[in-house]
Structure 1
């Protein structure tokens, strides 16, 4: 009997020592890492918000299926907020109360409205808003931008227009903080470079932009830059073609997609896309070696999901890699530690989906460049290497 008791004690002690060792090394699993999120699945930007949300959520599935973060699963808590700022604030507070340590947002209006709370709660926050106001740690210490800022996107489009002889440009924009975000910076750049820019709001739900295009025509507009999502952008493109206007269209991020081409039809031909993110058919390493294999294994057609799915996947991947660094360094997974880890990213590779990202303690705009594509034969064809604002 004594021998049996002694053997059991030895086994129990060995198990205890092993558990302590694994805990000290950060291995062997542990509590789930909670991340919150809001999506526009039914609101005015749901046409692009849905595939973006799918990319985020599917990356979480991919991580969890492959061992999580050093054995710890990610618990992603998210809901549709239909692009309503008050609903975004309510869901954010709810998930903070449930212990999330990081957050995936969506729109410019809600991201800017939450900025003070995010800083006070010390919650690293990545969203689909690339408003330049969110890139400064002095103003938004816990916001991180994976995409090129809207201001830089617009300035790069203006550079292209100027190089091609244009002096008069109209920015057609969503009538919201998202749409207005790049306007003042674009106007300032244009004025400093001998160009003229007018801003024309696009009323929500409009089915005809003849009046707005007449305003642009009267101003001598040669180039149109669109800061809006795919559905209204496609209506605008069809109106430009119907009216026979000689105006080159440049779509910024949120209408640089497959849905725009599908909805605009023949009117999409020749439209230029200023895209910070690689398209599914680009051959980018991350797409071919991670996203596509997982998608195919799960019955998902990546071409149908499109560039915004890739965008969502890549954004969540960057956040999780920041968390991975916290765990690898043996630190507790907290908001301040995740922020500190992200601020060490120097030329962080997104596998060719974007330019390499760099975050510092003084600059949270990770990407400074984008590529230009043009719709040719119903497909986006790359027409430039990476271009930065000012280059």
Structure 2
């Protein structure tokens, strides 16, 4: 039975530590993959679509005979963005024999990083913290989208160019409004601050308290600072609150969302206040008619879902699962034993994996697990995200 997203969230939340997504005897030759999702926590606004996509890709694979004839089983649990629960579920699922692990948040992914390496479990999460793509620091972690640091640096470079094109005098001034968490600070502390100073952009961080319903105080300070650009590193719901607040206060600034608020949900929550927002989008919205999303759209339509209602978190979740399926496929084709170590090595042979325009081609090496180094900027126009640039590569050099 397919559950609605709200029913699934409620069901998983009620199951303490029980694994959702199937139980019972393991099928012969079954490939076991584990995941934790935020279905009821503070980032569930985008977590639901990401979770649905990972589950959907597994279902899509099994409809086609699995991976080289071997069925895939996904065991998963809502951890509600609680780091301690993430660590507990990781232990449980690895003991059950999971070969691959799909995580979610920055705090829990960074907390698990050393254990993942010790256990030799290939791991990817929705967190795009730059350090997680460092193959020396995080040898079993893989980033399947442009890191937060690279996203922020691309945006800062665009701001510097836009400021000059508008005849701006002196340095561009930017307000960086961020989630009150490691996720929120990641692009700033992992290279953003240094890069801003390097290119002559003045950036001031402003924390967005969890659950805030009004940002008048923050916008008063931002206006007084003279900032002409506001960059959000947050999910859709708080960014929408801030945008509606800013529009009502008459804040005159260009607003930019990094990936977790540049999506269809922002439109639904912010409505007209989203008009004109710039989005840094590593994985294309499902309304972007490129080959890499057409298969996803066909799958969603086959189960009666409206793809236009999905955020690009769905695209990211789908392609994250697709990448790891490709790693498994390469191990099987090489006639090797299906182990975490062999899957890791197989992923490190992937060069310019074609995503059909859904995202940049993906390349991984033994020394670099940041598979994507670029993105396109989109503009929010008339209820959808319209492409604004071609692929923009991240500035050279490590943050």
Query: Do they superpose with TM above 0.5?
Result: yes
Distance in 1 between residues matched to 2:290 and 2:89, nearest whole Å: 35
1:357 equivalent in structure 2: 362
1:285 aligned to 261, 281, 291, which one?
Answer: 291
SS of 1:169 mapped into structure 2: strand
Distance in 2 between residues matched to 1:74 and 1:293, nearest whole Å: 21
SS of 2:45 mapped into structure 1: helix
1:260 equivalent in structure 2: 266
1:189 counterpart = 2:195: yes
1:70 aligned to 52, 68, 71, which one?
Answer: 68
SS of 1:255 mapped into structure 2: coil
SS of 1:59 mapped into structure 2: helix
Contact 2:157–2:199, Cα closer than 8 Å, also in 1:
no
1:205 equivalent in structure 2: 211
- Name whichever of 342-351 and 39-48 sits farther off: 342-351
Distance in 1 between residues matched to 2:365 and 2:103, nearest whole Å: 21
How far residue 142 of structure 1 moved from its aligned partner, in angstroms, is 0.2
Distance in 2 between residues matched to 1:346 and 1:276, nearest whole Å: 18
Contact 1:240–1:247, Cα closer than 8 Å, also in 2:
no
1:9 equivalent in structure 2: none
1:33 equivalent in structure 2: 31
SS of 2:287 mapped into structure 1: helix
Distance in 1 between residues matched to 2:305 and 2:92, nearest whole Å: 31
Distance in 2 between residues matched to 1:377 and 1:34, nearest whole Å: 43
Gaps of 5+ in 2: 1-26, 164-170
1:109 equivalent in structure 2: 107
Distance in 1 between residues matched to 2:395 and 2:93, nearest whole Å: 40
2:118 equivalent in structure 1: 120
User: Structure 1 length normalisation: TM-score?
Assistant: 0.91
- Name whichever of 29-38 and 117-126 sits farther off: 29-38
2:95 equivalent in structure 1: 97
How far residue 306 of structure 1 moved from its aligned partner, in angstroms, is 2.6
Deviations 1:326-354 (Å, cap 9, x if unpaired)? 00111111110000000001001122211
1:272 equivalent in structure 2: 278
2:222 aligned to 192, 216, 222, which one?
Answer: 216
Gaps of 5+ in 1: 1-28
1:171 equivalent in structure 2: 176
Distance in 2 between residues matched to 1:121 and 1:218, nearest whole Å: 51
SS of 1:319 mapped into structure 2: helix
Contact 2:134–2:367, Cα closer than 8 Å, also in 1:
yes
What is the RMSD of the two structures over their aligned residues, measured on CA atoms? 1.1
> Which segments of structure 1 move beyond 4 Å, counting only runs of 4 or more?
none
Deviations 1:163-203 (Å, cap 9, x if unpaired)? 11161111100000100100121111111111111111100
Deviations 1:74-120 (Å, cap 9, x if unpaired)? 11110100000001001000000000011101000000000010000
How far residue 30 of structure 1 moved from its aligned partner, in angstroms, is 4.3
Contact 2:256–2:279, Cα closer than 8 Å, also in 1:
yes
Distance in 1 between residues matched to 2:333 and 2:92, nearest whole Å: 29
1:342 equivalent in structure 2: 347
Contact 2:287–2:307, Cα closer than 8 Å, also in 1:
no
Contact 1:286–1:350, Cα closer than 8 Å, also in 2:
yes
How far residue 228 of structure 1 moved from its aligned partner, in angstroms, is 0.1
SS of 1:281 mapped into structure 2: coil
1:17-28 paired onto structure 2 within 5 Å: none
2:389 aligned to 369, 384, 387, which one?
Answer: 384
1:26 equivalent in structure 2: none
Deviations 1:6-65 (Å, cap 9, x if unpaired)? xxxxxxxxxxxxxxxxxxxxxxx9410111100000000000000010000010000011
Distance in 2 between residues matched to 1:222 and 1:48, nearest whole Å: 28
1:319 equivalent in structure 2: 324
User: Structure 2 length normalisation: TM-score?
Assistant: 0.89
Deviations 1:298-319 (Å, cap 9, x if unpaired)? 1121111231112111110111
Distance in 2 between residues matched to 1:292 and 1:221, nearest whole Å: 40
Distance in 2 between residues matched to 1:41 and 1:65, nearest whole Å: 25
